[in-house]
A and B are shown apart, each in its own frame.
Chain A
Amino acid sequence: MAKKLIEISHVNKTYRDKTRGDTVALDDVSLDIFENEFVCVVGPSGCGKTTLLNIIAGLERFDSGSVSMNGAPVVGPGPDRGVIFQQYALFPWMTVKKNIEYGMKYKKVRRPAGEIDPKTNAPREKTEYTKLTKEEKRALSEKYIKMVNLQGFENAYPKQLSGGMKQRVAIARGYAVAPDVLLMDEPFGALDAQTRAQLQEDLLVTWQEEKKTCFFITHDVEEAVLLATKIVIMSARPGKVMEIVDVNLPYPRNQATKLLPEFVEMKNRIWNTVYQMYLEVRK
């Protein structure tokens, strides 16, 4: 059995608002995320998907329950959890390279005793945690720029890039930090259909290579079935986990996977569930 990476148990969260009344965003949500899983969360808008992601990221507090990562409670954001936002969140005053290197700025890596310290050129006396050197950051940014096929754009500013390219920079930045899990909040939601398909395929290739644990929010059921090993269906108002579906479609997956009968069947079933809930909420 794979290692349990994130444990969410009985989490409740209510947004209090005196004028509009309280909104229960999460109602007794429990979910485990294991290493090497690709978890997709689908559900109608307002079901608390983003709230859940923010809570795991440590960007939002919750009222009761517990969230732990690698056995330790989540008390705030940290580089063990990378976040990729729908709106890219690239720093407009930094070039592509600088953006990616910024992600690693505060990260500390373990340097075991005996390893050569490049500063003193002598072996380390004890195990230490130190920041990455300039050279290490440069090498990593180069590696991940290559991974997302953005060679030649290292010194471009975000405004010079298309939406798809911006999101590729954000993905490269997320990977370069080497978090234990990548939290993605509708990362392809703002992209056109072709770019979206391309990035889905790229993400599949990368996941099949690195098996990086991903927590991926989307409202696109087809996208969820294509990418996920496990799909979490949430209902809206209050946000609850309705159903957890294991996706056992074979790898390697690509856009052609969408034509498999199992794929279509699963997509339709989940889509209907989500649509029914959407109609319930509309009532």
Chain B
Amino acid sequence: MNLFNILDEIETVDPEINERLSPRRDAIKNITSFGSKVAVAALPFALGTMFKKAYGQAASPAVIEVLNFALTLEFLEAEFYNTGKSSGVIPASDKPYLNVVARDENAHVKFLQDTIAALGGTAVSKPNIDLSGGNGSGNGPFKNAFNDYALFLTAAQVFEDTGVRAYKGQAPALKGNQVVLTAALSIHAVEARHASAIRKLRFDKGMTDNKPWIESTLDNGNDTKVSLANGNYAGEENITQGGVNLSGLASTRILTASFDEPLSKQAVLDLLVGSFIVA
């Protein structure tokens, strides 16, 4: 998110934005001119506070709910990569590649916590997580993910692809909200970059023939060949967009890969609660 673009853009529709924000705008500009990590980390807080003060309202409960849903997913992803890093499952040669993914997921947790607080909401705490997918038993289907690198990367791919779908599904609930929707879309794009990168890593290692994008068949959205993940990809086989059936314009493989499909909040929770999130 480019803060200054947002301010400049608002200026074009609200000429008084500078007066509303001043001297906070100058303060923000000065913060980034230091370039310190602390100041950058403080930005979401400053941003939320700024808009709340400028327009005299906190975010709606619906917006906070979306952000807390996102935070729950990010807690899970961050825990997964943090555990991966400390477990020794990742070969040294791949550590830099996966460290940046872990870095982003932890940054998302912090960003969402700060943003929720800044908007006047209460951030949810970290859920009770079972990375084996065993609902607290530690004995789920992914129990070997931290000593089986192929399984670890398979789980990573499914988490990332599912994360993309989850953010996409929440976009309409944030419609018209320049600050929060733009931030959510910006995280959504980063999750998609991760998904592409994990898929390529698995391809390069000969673990899969998956492309960086999801290529479905007409009767199965799931291209991972891991049937356990069928629910995570259900609906990706869709080839009707905006009421237009695209059949015949290209192969099913190309048509399905051209559009990523959303998942509802309930569908995402159904996939995670009772397995990775202890019910």
A-B complex is real: no
Binding site for A on B (CB under 8 A): none
